[in-house]
Structure 1
């Protein structure tokens, strides 16, 4: 019973625990991911920006629903427009884990995110 309650609590992370600046690390089809995303949540809707290694800020949209976090932003690869979609959960208030999907290339990967250190 206690284990069940712990699992439910972990899966149902409150939307406000998603707000803040996160450092995302991962891999997409053999390409490393190092991105910093600043997320704000209002009425379960996510807004904010993600900034990659190139320093460009990409506006994001998304939602928190039934313990799942989904957000996306645009991008560019050699002149080709991209849509990068992140889907994850918060096993704790200090970690987000999930998958990354890159459209239109239909490649995928995984990411782990932790809160950015406070300045």
Structure 2
């Protein structure tokens, strides 16, 4: 039977995968140090969390045309949609990292939330 199986590919097909090609996905060490925002944690140029944009004219136009709510209720409807949702955390109490996670949430996360409240 003269059928060609997987092992009988032509040399040009095999060579394609053996050729050394530049890996465009892999960062070089010199590039990653300069582009990593967390690499210099002690700098004064820390980036702060920015709230999400909650206004989108295209969204408003599309949903107004759908007639989901009456024009009189539109402002209230959009205001409710733009209200941020609460965050919830569930920590597995049997995890070996339970206490570390709880401590980090209670200290670091809560402190950053308090700072956000006093900042605004």
Q: TM-score per shorter chain, which class?
A: under 0.3
Point out the structure with max Rg over C-alpha. Answer: 2
Bigger relative CO (Cα 8 Å, ≥ 6 apart): 1
More helix by share: 2
When the two structures are superposed, what TM-score results if normalisation uses the length of structure 2?
0.20
More strand by share: 1
